[in-house]
Amino acid sequence: MIEVFFQYDFLRYSLFTGVLIGILAPLTGVFIVVRRLSLLADALSHITLTGIAFSLLLGRYINFFAVLNPVYMGMIFAATGSLLIERLRHTYRFYRELAIPIILSSGIGIGVVFISLADGFTTDLFSYLFGSIAAISSTDFTVVLVLTTVVVAIFGLFYKELFFLSFDEEQAVISGIPRRSLHFLFILITAVVIGISMQIVGILLVSALMTLPVAAAMRLAASFKQMFFYSVVIGEVSVLAGIFAAFHLDVAPGGMIVVVNVLILLIVLAATSEKILNRKGG
């Protein structure tokens, strides 16, 4: 069952990329969830679609973009989108939560127009939306590997600062942590991780891989470090199960990954609900 993944190059690269994503996405997800930014991940992933569509459209006219992986344009758009969100939060001082739905829906809307203009309503679009296991080339994999290393290194370097900011923002600012630049760095990382992950998981499902494992891990973990551990384990299990199922059952990998994730979450919720009752009773 597993041998086939080592027989074919494209499957091997997808498998390796999947393993990396299974670490990266939940890792970023933990910070996203504890910083209460889980909706931001959704907004950024939707705006990544706009970037991809834009790149596809440019590819019809400019050779350079025809060969470039559209994912990079997606990442640029996601980073720009996050800046716009900050700006909108400023405009709607009294309705800050409006910023995310505005960006999210505008992202898809403009994306759809780009796709239409590029005559892009084809099978390819489906793999961008819901993931594919045939999309990874060896260069893509090298890029993913490098980016993963960079992201993990940044998390390692700034672990303390990010941890501090996530749990006690005021205290962190007082003790001299540059909140704005760290926040920006973090958003940038999120955009990159979304771009990497969407190649296998699909745009509409990237945020699932960032929030669902963390949501499950949260119920199990007794400490912040444990939360990382459980999220990554759950993330890996779901990604691998999803990729295998995608190949053998011929369904969208992103969909299977999320379904496995949802199942794990349901099991965890069922298993821990008794604990809550006990705690309430005691």
Rounded to the nearest 5 degrees, what angle is found at the Cα of 220, between the Cα atoms of 270 and 183? 120
Q: Extract the tokens encoding 139.
A: 């260069």
* Contact between 33 and another protein per CB under 8 A: yes
Using CB under 8 A as the binding rule, the residues of this chain from 227 to 256 that contact another protein are 250-252, 254-256
Query: Mutual orientation of helices 179-201 and 9-34 as an angle, nearest 10°?
Result: 140
Check: CB of residue 167 under 8 Å from CB of residue 36. no
Alpha carbons within 13 angstroms on the beta-carbon side of residue 197 total 34
CB atoms within 10 A of CB 56: 23
175 touches another protein (CB under 8 A): no
Calculate the alpha carbon distances from 242 to 31, 37, 52, 259 in Å: 24, 26, 24, 8
Q: Please, which of residues 114-173 interact with another protein by CB under 8 A?
A: 115-117, 121-123, 125-126, 129-131
Q: How many residues contact another protein, by CB under 8 A?
A: 59
Q: For residues 143 and 204, which CB has a smaller minimum distance to another protein in the complex?
A: 204
By CB under 8 A, name the one of 20, 23, 100, 217 that touches another protein: 100
Burial of residue 182, with CB atoms counted within 10 A of its CB: 0-12 exposed, 13-18 middle, 19 or more buried: middle
Taking the complex as a whole, how short is the minimal distance between the CB of residue 138 and another protein, in angstroms? 26
Distances (CA, A) of 176 to 86, 164, 171, 185: 22, 11, 9, 17
Considering only 8, 9, 83, 105, the residue that binds another protein (CB under 8 A) is 105
Among 95, 159, 167, 224, binds another protein (CB under 8 A): 95
221 binds another protein per the rule CB under 8 A: no
CB of 101 to another protein, least distance (A): 4
State the amino acid at position 250 in one-letter form: D
Binding-site member from 188, 218, 220, 240 for another protein (CB under 8 A): 218
Note whether 101 binds another protein by CB under 8 A.
yes
Q: Which residue ranges make up the site for another protein (CB under 8 A)?
A: 33, 36, 38-39, 41-42, 46, 91-92, 94-95, 97-98, 100-102, 104-106, 108-113, 115-117, 121-123, 125-126, 129-131, 202, 204-205, 207-208, 211-212, 215, 218, 250-252, 254-259, 261-262, 265, 269, 273
